[in-house]
Amino acid sequence: MEQMTFVSHHHVSELFHNKFIVVLGDSIQRSVYKDLVLLLQEEKYLNLAQLKRKGEMSFEQDCLVEGGCLSLLHNGTEYREVRQYQSAHHLVRFYFVTRIFSDYMESIFNDFRHGLKPDLVIVNSCVWDISRYGLKWGENYKENLSRFFEELNEILPIESLVIWNLTMPLAETIKGGFLVPEISDRAANLRHDVIEANFYSGALANAYKMDVLDLHFHFRFSLHHRIKDGVHWNALAHRRITTLLTLHVADAWGVKLPLNSNARIPVAYQLPAQQIVQRHEAHPPRNNFCPNPARVNGFMNFEAIPPAYWYEDEAFYGSSFHHDPLPYGCSHCPEPSNTHCAACYDWTRPHVMRNRHVRHHYKPYTYHRPGQHFSNDYFYHKVDF
């Protein structure tokens, strides 16, 4: 039975040992933070309630530092939520932001200036920026991106790794907390605006020598893992994001990290094999992305996606997105196939931009960190390790 390939709890825990990770962004980035926090502790997946919940006092032994239910839960641009997970050898912090550069972002930069410098920053801000701050968002967004990247480069040491996540595909019909009634008429155009914004942000991040992870590209044929609101994604998608981020970081730090080919997929995400075969027969293959139904064997995985889902947005994506087919077969697989084993799959795709300077894997913390149970004001003091 073919399984999805993910990084394991053991490898993630070892790679981020004694590392300070900061995640910046919207609700999708919050789920990126949550999946990482969960995987640092055990081999489990997020459930639907954990994906939907925001501003809770505690999630899997983390703590709410600021905003959320400590103040008022709302869907305005002034909503704040700062979370932090701390264990004996890991420190992960999340800031909810609705704009890539603002007075609030300046306050976050002050945390970096006067406190610990993060080893890894995972950041994205797009959908709120292009939907909630006026119709002519282009120039403001590019200007704010430039100010953000420039100031971040000044604050962080050269050893810090910054990964800019490109925004994932939106559906034609969307619902979401950011989509207040005043801008509901713009919902149909947002998926097009996201592609344009991704082009700007990816090019600028690359120009400022940031790493870029193109999640829009990676998930363009995985739209069945997007939930009903057309914006957010399920637990398997977020574990795939964690895998892509972890492998990217390992590559940047010069660490060889194998995939976990024995990952157990929750029953909720399995599809009967007969149903997949029926869909395959109803939608004959049209290019080299066609999976081998005999090897899918009941799983809707990312290496073999039922053709029924490939062309959900074909008119929108166009033929230009049908490029770079996966290699046909490999020395590790017993027969030619477009599905891949963990050993032969090349995760360092050309669509992931690489930074131009070499980073050295290092261990900045030399002292034992205090216990994880602390008061909210402890967040603002420097932690001795």
Each residue's pLDDT tens digit, 342-366: 444 343 444 444 444 455 544 443 3
| CB contact at 8 A, 105 and 145 | no
Looking up residue 55, the CATH number of its domain turns out to be 3.40.50.1110
Rounded to an integer, what distance in angstroms lies between the CA atom of residue 175 and that of residue 157? 39
Q: Determine, yes or no, domain membership for 274.
A: no
- Structurally, the chain folds into a number of domains equal to 1
pLDDT of residue 113: 94
Nearest to 28 by CA among 244, 240, 241, 232: 232
Nearest to 27 by CA among 98, 102, 121: 98
Q: Determine, yes or no, domain membership for 377.
A: no
Q: Determine, yes or no, domain membership for 318.
A: no
pTM of the prediction? 0.72
pLDDT digits (tens, 9 = 90+) for 73-129: 998 899 999 999 999 999 999 999 999 999 999 999 999 999 999 999 999 999 999
Q: Determine, yes or no, domain membership for 279.
A: no
Q: Determine, yes or no, domain membership for 65.
A: yes
Structure tokens at 105: 């972002």
Residue 37 above 70 pLDDT? yes
pLDDT of residue 258: 77
Instruction: Flag the least confident range among 167-171, 198-202, 308-312.
Output: 308-312
Nearest to 95 by CA among 108, 78, 111, 86: 108
pLDDT digits (tens, 9 = 90+) for 285-306: 333 333 333 333 333 333 433 3
Residue 224 above 60 pLDDT? yes
Rounded to an integer, what distance in angstroms lies between the CA atom of residue 359 and that of residue 244? 19
Place of tokens 């477009």: 338
Q: Determine, yes or no, domain membership for 370.
A: no
pLDDT of residue 203: 95
pLDDT of residue 245: 97
More confident residue, 135 or 140: 140
For the CA atoms of 9, 12, 13, 17, the dihedral, rounded to the nearest 10 degrees, stands at 180
Domain of residue 104: give its range: 9-261+350-358
| CB contact at 8 A, 239 and 45 | yes
pLDDT of residue 133: 87
Q: Determine, yes or no, domain membership for 53.
A: yes
Rounded to an integer, what distance in angstroms lies between the CA atom of residue 258 and that of residue 217? 22
Q: Determine, yes or no, domain membership for 375.
A: no
